[in-house]
Structure 1
Amino acid sequence: MKPQRHTWIDYARGIAIILVLYRHVFEGIKNAGISITEYKLIEHANILFFSFRMPLFFIVSGIFVVGSLQKRGFSSFVQTKARTILYPYFLWAVLQISLQLILSDYVNANRTWRSYAELFYAPRTIDQFWYLYALFNVSILYVLSLHFLRSKTLYNVIIGLLFFMISVYTYQVKINLGFVGDILHYYLFFAIGDALGSVIRNDNYRKYFERWQALLLFFVPFIVSQYYFLYTNLQHPAMNYDYVEYYQPFLFIIIALIGALYIIMISFFLQKHSLIKWLHLLGQHSLYIYVAHVLVLASVRIFITKVLGIYNVPILLATGILLGLLVPVILYKLASRLNMKWIFTLESSRKEKKYINVPSAK
C-alpha cells in the first residue's frame, strides 16, 4: 500500500502562508501612505496573527527534523537545506533588491547597493527574506547539536529557552544582533516542534487532534490568549505591538504555543475530512509563494492604485492576498513544465538513504 503524505502539515503551512500574506499586504498598504484609520478591525487581525504565525512555521519545521536527519544523514541534510532554502533565499532576494533599486520611484522599499551585503548579516532589512535565512541557520545549528553533541530534545528546548531570553534582553537594551538575533529568538520553537514530533506523528495520538470536540474545547484558551495579546499590545502602541513578545516573554511563548497547536489541530481535522483541498495545495507551494509574493503584491498595489485609481483598503487587501497566492503557484507550475525549477529550488531527485542514530525526545 502506497504511504500517504502527511497532508496536515500542508494544511498548516497553507494557513500560515495566508497569514503571512495578510500581514505583508496590510503593511504594504500602510507604507504606501493609504489611510487605514477606518479599518481598525483589519489592523487588529493583523496584530492577532502575529502572536503565533512565525512560531508556527518553526514548530512545523522542527516536527520532522529528526526523521529527515535519520533518512538523509548529516551531510545530505545540510546539502538539501542549502538547495531548498538557502539557494532561493539568495536568488529571490537579489532579484527583489535589484527590481526595487530599478523601480525606486514606485516602491516603498529604500534600497542601496549595501542591501546586497546585508543579505549575509542583516536579513531583516530585506523584507520577508529574513525567515528563510533564520530557518536555514536554526535547522543547521539544531542538527549539529543532534549529530555531533548527541544532545537530547529536552536539552535543546532548555537551550532554546535560554536563547530566547537572550534575544529578548538584547531587544530591550537595543542591541542589534543581526541574523544571530533571529536564531536566538526562534531556536526554541524549532526545538518544541521536535519535542512535539513524536506525539504528533504517532497514530495513537492523532485521533485526539482530529476530533471536533478537541477543537471546540481548545477554542476557549485560543480566544482568551488572542484577546489578551491584542488588548495588551494595543495599550503599548509605541512598541509597534511587540510589547507582549519582548516584555512578557513567557506569556508570549504560551500564547504562541496555544495558537500554533490550534492551527495544527485544525489542520488534522481538515486532513481527516478532506476539506478545503485548495488550502492543502497552497501549503505544498508555500515556499514558492513566500519567495515571490512581495514582488507580486507590489505590482498589484501599484497597478490598482496608480492605474485604476482604487485606494479602498478591503479591495487592496483581498486582491493582494488572492493574487499573491495564485501568481507564485502559477509561476512554479510554468517553471516546472519548462524544466526551469531552478528558479525556485535546486532540490535533487536523487534519494539518499543514510541512517544514523539520533537521540529520542525525552
Structure 2
Amino acid sequence: MKHFLAKAFNLEILQKSRLAWVDYLKGIAIILVVYRHALLGIERGGIVINASLENANMIFYSFRMPLFFVLSGIFIGGSLLKKQPGAVIQNKFNTLLYPYLVWTFIQITLQVVLSRFVNASRSWVDYTYILYQPRSLDQFWYLPALFNTTLVYVLLKTKLKTPHWLQLLLGLAFYFTARYVESISMISDWMKFYIFFAIGDAIARLFFTDSVQRVLQQKRSLLLFAPFFALAQWYYVSHTVGEALFLVIALTGCVFMFMIAFQLQRLQWMPFLRVLGFHSIYIYAMHVIVIGLLRVVLIRFAGIHQPLVLLTLCITGGVFIPVIIYNCLINRGPLWFLFSPRKPGAVKKDSRETTAPVLAS
C-alpha cells in the first residue's frame, strides 16, 4: 500500500530541490479552481447553496487567475536566459496548448454523449469553440490565454526588445480594451491578463532578492498585510467594482497568497498542497469531468443532497483522483499522449519549466 501511494501521488517530488513555495501556491489555487466548479455544478443541479459559500467563491475569483499570470511572468525571464525563444514557445505549446486541444475534445464529447446526466448543454457546434471561443468551454479558457500571452510577450521582449515599462503600458492598454473583442475570447482573454504577466516579469529581479524573500517569509508581514487583503475582498464582494479597482484588488490578493505560500514553505506544513501544486495542470484538465461523474453518483445513486457534504466530496475527489489517474495511467504509462505530443523518455520529470496552469473561470 505504501508503494502504491508513493507512486499514485508521486511523493518523491517532496524530496526534490524544487521551489516549494511555487508548488504551495499552485496547490492552493487549484483547490480554489475546483471549489468554484464543484459549487457551480451542485448549484446548477438545483440544490440550494448557502450564501456564505457563494461569497467565498466570489472572493477566490478576484485573485486566483491573476495570481498564475503573475507567477508565470516571474519565471519567463529565467526561461529565456536558459532557452531560445522558439524553445520556450515550443515548451508552452506542449504543456498548455496541446493539453487544451486534447482535453476540450474529450470533455465536449463526454458532455454530448452523457447529456442526460450532466448539467452542460452541449452540441457538435461546441467543437468549433475550441478555435475561437474557449470561454464557452468551462474551465479551459485559461490554457490558450496563458499560451497566447506568453507568445505575444516573448515576441515583443526578444524581437522588438520591448522594455518593462512599455510592456506594462501595453498590458494596461490591452486590459482596458479587451472588452471590445469579448465576442472572440481567444483574443480577449490574453488581453485581459497580459498586464499581470508583465507585472510578474517586471518585478522578477526584485522579487528574488534576499531582502524581499525575507519579508515574504516573515509571519509579521502576513499579519500586517491581512487587514488590507480582508478589506479589499470585502469591498469586492459588497460593491460593483470597475476594471481599475479590480486590478488593485486582484494584486492585493496575489501578494497575500504569495505570503501564505512562503509561510507554508517555512513551516513545511500541509505537504499535500505541494503534491497538488506539482500536478496542477493535470487536475485542471480533468477535474470538471471527475466532479461531474462524482456528482451524478453521489446524488442519483447515493442519495446525497446536502450541499456541504457534496461540495466536500466533489472537491476531494476533484483534486486527488486526477493525480492518481495521471501517475498510474498517463505519466510514463499507456495514456501518455493525453498530455504530451511526444512520449516521455529522456526528459526528467522535474525539468519542466514552471508554468501556472490552474487556475479557471
- Percent sequence identity over aligned pairs: 40
* TM-score, length-scaled by structure 1: 0.88
1:6 matched to 2:19? The reply is: yes
Amino acid at match of 1:221: F
Residue correspondence of structure 1 range 181-260 to structure 2 within 5 A: 181-232=188-239, 243-244=240-241, 248-260=242-254
| Gap runs ≥5 in structure 1 | 233-242, 352-362
Per the alignment, residue 333 of structure 2 pairs with 338
Is this contact kept in 2: 1:304–1:310, CA < 8 A?
Answer: yes
Q: How far apart in 1 are the matches of 2:66 and 2:303?
A: 37
CA gap of 1:317–1:3, structure 2 versus 1, over 3 A, is closer
CA gap of 1:346–1:208, structure 2 versus 1, over 3 A, is farther
- Please report how far the alpha carbon of residue 126 of structure 1 lies from its aligned counterpart in structure 2 after TM superposition: 0.7
Partner of 1:64, secondary structure, is helix
Match of 1:127 among 98, 115, 138: 138
Q: How far apart in 2 are the matches of 1:299 and 1:16?
A: 22
- Please report how far the alpha carbon of residue 337 of structure 1 lies from its aligned counterpart in structure 2 after TM superposition: 5.1
Per the alignment, residue 263 of structure 2 pairs with 269
- Please report how far the alpha carbon of residue 339 of structure 1 lies from its aligned counterpart in structure 2 after TM superposition: 5.3
Q: How far apart in 1 are the matches of 2:62 and 2:333?
A: 40
Amino acid at match of 1:46: N
Per the alignment, residue 22 of structure 1 pairs with 35
Amino acid at match of 1:319: L
Q: How far apart in 1 are the matches of 2:211 and 2:55?
A: 38
Count of residues in Structure 1 that have an aligned counterpart in Structure 2? 332
Is this contact kept in 2: 1:85–1:136, CA < 8 A?
Answer: yes
The answer to which of 190-199 and 19-28 deviates more is 190-199
- Please report how far the alpha carbon of residue 53 of structure 1 lies from its aligned counterpart in structure 2 after TM superposition: 1.0
Residue correspondence of structure 1 range 2-81 to structure 2 within 5 A: 4-36=17-49, 39-81=50-92
Q: How far apart in 2 are the matches of 1:142 and 1:3?
A: 30
Q: How far apart in 1 are the matches of 2:307 and 2:335?
A: 36
Partner of 2:305, secondary structure, is coil
Per the alignment, residue 178 of structure 1 pairs with 185
- Please report how far the alpha carbon of residue 103 of structure 1 lies from its aligned counterpart in structure 2 after TM superposition: 0.4
| Gap runs ≥5 in structure 2 | 1-14, 349-361
Is this contact kept in 2: 1:332–1:344, CA < 8 A?
Answer: no
Q: How far apart in 1 are the matches of 2:263 and 2:334?
A: 36
- Please report how far the alpha carbon of residue 3 of structure 1 lies from its aligned counterpart in structure 2 after TM superposition: 9.0
Is this contact kept in 2: 1:160–1:191, CA < 8 A?
Answer: yes
Q: How far apart in 2 are the matches of 1:345 and 1:273?
A: 35
Partner of 1:43, secondary structure, is helix
Q: How far apart in 1 are the matches of 2:126 and 2:193?
A: 24
Amino acid at match of 2:132: Y
Q: How far apart in 1 are the matches of 2:17 and 2:301?
A: 47
- Please report how far the alpha carbon of residue 336 of structure 1 lies from its aligned counterpart in structure 2 after TM superposition: 2.1
Match of 1:95 among 106, 115, 119: 106
Q: Structure 1, residues 255-290: CA drift from partner, whole Å, max 9, x if none?
A: 000101100111111112211111111100000000
Q: How far apart in 1 are the matches of 2:319 and 2:347?
A: 29
Q: How far apart in 1 are the matches of 2:25 and 2:334?
A: 29
